[in-house]
Chain A
């Protein structure tokens, strides 16, 4: 670990805490709204179909799936959209070209700081959940699965970061990549199991998706936290995460080597 890594992390934590009301409002607000929407929506679906479970998940488990997925996605998203493209647009990106350190290392450490911080939210969520529902018969996770799941979320954050690098660096050609980042998040959420658990999709679709990076970004860590994944599935998932990260990192390298020649340092 390089000495400046911990300083970058400490600085990013200070930046998050500089706006601590935003931290709590977003976290708690998002959690309760999500809970409300999910329960009412799936309650109607269950009632309409006159069933008590779908694909092996009852209403409570589905609600739990969405809550964990939702909090977990914050770990995945890390910094806000535009964490590179906005700086390129504004010209503040220049600072990373001046510092005698790797720009990618800096951004990765900075991004992971956010992911680590949001992991804390998942622990808080776990604690709140145990406090209110811990004595009920809802089959929420063991702490071991929670830690394992957060570990997978942090690993898959690196994969998402590599995807984000690819899209964000396009701003060296096109000024505004906001829409592309929104699309990326939509695809990741949809094909990753953020909108509906992936086992609700047809079998053939699940088989195709298994070869893409998407299911390992949300579905795998959420299922791990809920204790629904067995160890073979987890090991296979981690292998895919690392393999896809390496493949995409090669593309990022090419984009960067060409794109940096186009940087003009102009901005607001």
Chain B
């Protein structure tokens, strides 16, 4: 169970004017700026839930995940994960939690993955039988068995991500934080990672928080989403509700003999607008759909709370 109340975080950084003059000036004086990354976040996640955190760059998704994983201290507010305060980092909590960051390596670069796994086995005190069982399950599901003895730095990006996933899940965590696990991967690797995460969720039912810029990740994995904008959660609910929120609208894709275009129209005008299109254009093909989830979320992120 995750409970977050009034959680805020601000970061301080320095501003530097561009060019040599700016660099020289910064040697003596730097202007400090404070950025509010999280603004009084409230969120509650139940056991076995998988929630997608979405938002534009700088919305605060990664900061929230880092606080819950205990690596960043909040400025104010409270949070408990499995009854622990994450940033106090009790070992009991760390044994039950995992953080996977798509852009960061956590296994040792210069060694084969199995060497890192052996160390993790000792660090997390995984019994020998359990360790072997987990290695087999993870390597089979991720189809990475042949790469376990190769130096990690020599693996492809997709293979490295799979190794990171294996390393993070070796100790069967009850809470998993996935920060853009498919970033930079090609389509087939993205699909494989998504498939694996789905299988893992079915098998072990951990609490999972996933941040991603790829809507496919969210659509396939997360029944619930929280949309963040400028450090605030502007929507928290089932993914299906997001679609229903703008369900009064339909999108018509039209192909005429000269061009192709899309129009958004209110549902009640659907019949008259379609008729009008046929009268006005030489329509070759016409397709009526609900607005894509990406567009709805984008409009929510731009427009603020619905």
Contacts and interface: CB of A to CB of B under 8 A. Distances in A.
B13 to A, nearest CB: 9
Interface residues of B, number: 31
Contacts of B92: 100
Interface in B72-95: 72-73, 89, 91-92, 94-95
Nearest to A2: B122
Contacts of B118: 7
Interface residues of A, number: 24
Interface in B86-113: 89, 91-92, 94-95, 97-99, 101, 104-106, 108, 110-111
Interface in A228-268: 260-261, 263-265, 267
Nearest to A103: B89
A98 interface: yes
Given A15-B110, A264-B11, A97 B119 contact: no
A14 B151 CA distance: 12
A135 B107 CA distance: 50
A11 B113 CA distance: 12
A22 to B, nearest CB: 12
A4 B119 contact: yes
A101 interface: yes
Contact of A94 (B104, B124, B151): B104
A15 B123 contact: no
B72 A263 contact: yes
Main SS class of interface, B: mixed
Contacts of B180: none
11 contacts: A4-B123, A7-B119, A8-B119, A91-B104, A94-B106, A95-B106, A97-B70, A98-B94, A100-B94, A100-B124, A264-B66
Interface of B: 11, 66, 69-73, 89, 91-92, 94-95, 97-99, 101, 104-106, 108, 110-111, 115-116, 118-119, 122-125, 151
Interface of A: 3-4, 7-8, 11, 14-15, 18-19, 91-92, 94-95, 97-101, 260-261, 263-265, 267
Contacts of B95: 100
A265 B118 CA distance: 25
A263 B71 contact: yes
Nearest to B67: A265
B106 A92 contact: yes
Nearest to A90: B104
